[in-house]
Structure 1
């Protein structure tokens, strides 16, 4: 998780709470981690597309 991330998980929950949820196997922890990871991947793909347009 990142301090600069704009996903709902990072904006609404502390890293300690997310770690706690994951450590006890709570389903919400996995759901929030998935939201964060999807947001990261979408931003990464967007930056790749932007870089590809610049190269043309």
Structure 2
């Protein structure tokens, strides 16, 4: 998922630099959504780790 996020950010930067504002906006929006999902997952795992609940083992 992190690879997809990096690819979308790069696509948004390149498309914005070349003047394709619609493509850049779409890629940036998808990158923001994926980043939010990843951030929520990381916070959830940290909370569970501090509570002593090991769900990854």
From the superposition, tell whether residues 54 and 20 of structure 1 become closer, same or farther in structure 2 (CA, over 3 Å).
closer
In structure 2, list runs of 5 or more residues that go unmatched: 52-57
Match of 1:7 in 2: 4
Q: Which among 5, 13, 18 is matched to residue 19 of structure 1?
A: 13
Decide whether the 8 Å contact of 2:9 with 2:31 is kept in 1. no
Q: Does 1:52 align with 2:47?
A: yes
Q: TM-score, normalised by structure 1?
A: 0.62
| Structure with higher helix content | 2
Taking only aligned residues, the RMSD between alpha carbons, in angstroms, comes to 2.9
Inter-partner Cα distance in structure 1 for 2:12 and 2:6: 8
In structure 1, list runs of 5 or more residues that go unmatched: none
Q: TM-score, normalised by structure 2?
A: 0.61
Which has the larger Rg?
Answer: 2
